[in-house]
A and B are shown apart, each in its own frame.
Chain A
Amino acid sequence: MNFESFQNRVLPAKNKLFRFALRLVGSEDEAKDVVQEVMIRVWNGREQMAEIQNMEAWCMRITKNLSLDRIRSNNRRQAQSIDGSFDVRNEALTPHESTELRESMQRVNQLMAALPEKQRQVMHLRDVEGYSYNEICDILELDMNQVKVNLFRARNAVREKLVKANAYGL
């Protein structure tokens, strides 16, 4: 792989890698560090990666592993500090509507944060990034059954809580 194909095949995935790392490590700066490290590893190991077909899924897997290493070495769970900064600026919304939107975003964020680690990872990869089940199996190193079970549980937990929140007007 030369630098040009690296730029075309790997570099465009940086935002997906960043979001996934951010979900795991919780801080933007650390997530950026992880992405950079992933890129450097992929570049240094490019000779062995010639036969990898899905480069992006491969990069996501490295991102997951490096992020988990970081969490382990920092010995702390991911800080759920992504709330509070929901950018809901939209010309079409009145101030009341945008406040409402921001609040509902925060509520969903809390629901997501309460999910077990695996479920949150699977849901992020499927619902935010739009990966196929096979790709998710590759990235998370799980079998198809585990992926489906985790996604099913995640969606149902979120649904249940959303319905509950709505019913109690929270």
Chain B
Amino acid sequence: MDSKKIEQLLEKYWACETSLEEEKTLRDFFHQSDVPQHLKESASLFRYFEQQRQQMITDVSFDGELKRKLEPTTTKVRSLLYSSLRIAAGISVVLASFWLVRTQIRDSQPQELTDTYDDPKKAFEETKKALQLISKNFSKGQKATANINLLNEAKSKIQSKEEQKIDS
């Protein structure tokens, strides 16, 4: 590129009117070694910029060290997630089994006795009725067994008479 055009670009550069591409053109131009004498001072500025761009992190260990510092957080987050899931699963198993056992126990046991009457007098009447019903049935049974007793008595009398005969 001829130096006339470069001079024009430089004027634009000092006035801050150059685009990024035009600035790159200038940098590329001054990067070559044979720069006209009258542009030497501008050349030193652009070479300075170029030289600045060469500065880098030269440590080979930088990336590795950084990765080591970042990775614990990734594994930590992951292990935290896993362990909390495990804890949640354990808790749900315990809760489920507790619920199952509880319902089974409830099914196998008779329902609890509850009061059916508020008024003690009424309750007493009802109890009396129930007990009378039982005693009535008991007395029915007693009549039947009385007949059996008669039979037994008769049988034992006959048996004792027969034994007396044999003895004599």
Contacts from A to B (Cβ < 8 Å): 3, 6, 11, 14-15, 18-19, 22, 32, 35-36, 39-40, 43-44, 86-88, 92-93, 101, 104-105, 107-109, 112, 124, 126-130, 132, 148, 151-152, 155-156, 158-159, 162-163, 165-166
Q: Is the CB of A162 within 8 A of B13?
A: no
Q: Is the CB of A112 within 8 A of B14?
A: no
Q: Cβ of B59: which chain A residues have Cβ within 8 Å of it? A: 32
> How far is B51's CA from A88's CA once the two chains are assembled, in angstroms?
8
> How far is B74's CA from A43's CA once the two chains are assembled, in angstroms?
10
Can you name 25 A-B residue pairings with CB atoms under 8 Å? Answer: A11-B63, A15-B55, A18-B57, A19-B56, A32-B57, A36-B62, A36-B65, A40-B66, A44-B73, A88-B51, A105-B44, A108-B44, A112-B48, A126-B23, A128-B52, A128-B53, A130-B24, A132-B20, A151-B16, A155-B14, A156-B14, A158-B45, A159-B14, A163-B41, A165-B41
When C-beta atoms are compared, the residue in chain A nearest to B70 turns out to be: A43
7 tightest A-B contacts by CB? A104-B44, A108-B48, A162-B41, A15-B56, A128-B52, A166-B41, A152-B16
Q: Is the CB of A14 within 8 A of B62?
A: yes
Q: Is the CB of A86 within 8 A of B70?
A: no
- Looking at the complex, which one of B15, B57, B74 makes contact with A35 (CB distance below 8 Å)? B57
- Looking at the complex, which one of B14, B16, B33, B63 makes contact with A93 (CB distance below 8 Å)? B33
Q: A92-B33, A132-B20, A148-B16 given as contacts; is B41 within 8 A of A101 (CB)? A: no
Q: How many residues of B contact A (CB 8 A)?
A: 33
> How far is B15's CA from A165's CA once the two chains are assembled, in angstroms?
20
> How far is B61's CA from A56's CA once the two chains are assembled, in angstroms?
22
When C-beta atoms are compared, the residue in chain B nearest to A167 turns out to be: B41
Contacts from B to A (Cβ < 8 Å): 13-16, 20, 23-24, 33, 40-42, 44-45, 47-49, 51-57, 59, 62-63, 65-66, 69-71, 73-74
Q: A104-B44, A128-B53 given as contacts; is B16 within 8 A of A3 (CB)? A: no
Q: Is the CB of B48 within 8 A of A130?
A: no
Q: Point out which of B42, B45, B47 has the most chain A C-beta atoms below 10 A from its C-beta.
A: B45
> How far is B16's CA from A90's CA once the two chains are assembled, in angstroms?
31
